[in-house]
Amino acid sequence: MDIYRIIDELGEERERLGRIIESLEVLALGVELPAPVTGKRRGRKFMDESGRKEVSERMKLYWAKRRGGEPPRALEASA
């Protein structure tokens, strides 16, 4: 038995239970908790002009191939 591992796991469990108890106490008081900050970016992702142009050219080639037609010559050279 690794007693230090067990102590670490119990400490993590105590923290988890503390957060749960705190949330329940706040709910009992009717106070709304702020959303936790995860550090991940949410929302719309923005592309610069060169990225948009690259995607545009790639999609024009894609749709030309899907339709069975010839892609425009300017796009063939860049691909």
Q: Is the pLDDT of residue 16 over 90?
A: yes
C-alpha count within 13 angstroms, C-beta hemisphere, residue 35: 4
pTM of the model: 0.36
C-alpha count within 13 angstroms, C-beta hemisphere, residue 68: 0
pLDDT at residue 46, as a whole number: 80
CA distance linking residue 42 with residue 35, whole number of Å = 13
Average pLDDT estimate for 11-34: 85
CA distance linking residue 53 with residue 48, whole number of Å = 9
Which residue type does 43 have? Answer: G
